[in-house]
Structure 1
Amino acid sequence: MPSTTFVIQRDRLYRYYEVISLIGGLYFIGWLLLKIGFAKAYRSWVDSFVYRLDHDCLAISSCYELWGFVLFRQEKRIPLEKITDLRLMQGPVLSKMGLWCLYVQTASSGSQGPEAILHALDNPREARDQIMQAVTERGRSLRC
C-alpha cells in the first residue's frame, strides 16, 4: 500500500487554538500574549503537523518552536497492529469551527487516554476509514 499523507485544515485549527487560549482563563493576558507572539508560535506548531499512513504504521510528527527555540519535538510511529480503536470527537468549540479530532487508541494506551490525537483532518471520516482498512489488511479488526 502506498504511503498516504492526510490533509489538515490548518486555518481552522489556528482559530481553534486562538479561541481555546482566550477561553483558558486569563482572558486579557492570554489575548495580549497571543497577539504579541504566541500566534506565530501556534502557526509554527500547526504548520509542523504531519499525519502519515504508511504500509505498517501511522506516523505523527510535530515541532513546537517559540522565538526560534525548539521547545519540544514529537515523532511517533504507531504500528497498525497495535491500533484497537479509532474515535471521531467533536466538542462545542470544534463543532462551531467545523473541526474534528481523530483519537487513536492502542491496547497499551489503556485508560491513560488515546495514544495519539489527529487534529483538524480535512476529511476525518475518510481518514478514519483508510486507517481502519489498513489495520484490517494487516490482519486485525477494529471495534466500530
Structure 2
Amino acid sequence: MEGITEPVPTWLHTALRRAVLDHARAERRRSFAPLVHVGTPGGSEAVFALTPDEPSDHALRTDLVAALVRRTVLPSAEPIVWLTRPGDLTVQDHDLLWLSAARAACAEAGRPLTLVVVTRTAWRDPRSGVGRVWKRLRER
C-alpha cells in the first residue's frame, strides 16, 4: 500500500500536527490560494503559491516540486510535501495532480514521498486515506 499507514510514526504525527497548527494560525480567511509546501513543518520549508492559472502541465508541476525538494531537504532527511487549501478533505482533482508531480519529483531524486493535504483542522494522505482531525487544536 502506498502512502502513510497506521500506526503513524510519532515523528510524522508530530510534524503533521505542526503543519495543521501552523496553517490554522497563518490562514484565517475562508477563501485563499492553496500552497504547496516542501520541507519540515515548523522548520525549514519552501512554499509555492498556487494561482487560479496554476501550472496545468505535469512536467512543469514536477519541476516545481523537484526545485522545492532540492531547496529544503538535507541529504539524510525525508521530504514532506503538504498542500494547504480551503475546504474539506475529500480528494480533489488538483490534489491528485500535485500528488502525481510530487511522486515523479521524489522518484527522480531517489527519495521516499510523504504527501498530505492540510486544512485548518486536519490532514489526510490522499493515497491511503489515513489522516487526523482535531476539533480544537492547541499548542502543546
When normalised by structure 2's length, the TM-score is: 0.28
Structure number with the bigger relative contact order (C-alpha 8 A, sep ≥ 6) is: 2
Q: Given the two structures, how large is their TM-score scaled by the length of structure 1?
A: 0.28
| Structure with the higher helix share, 1 or 2 | 1
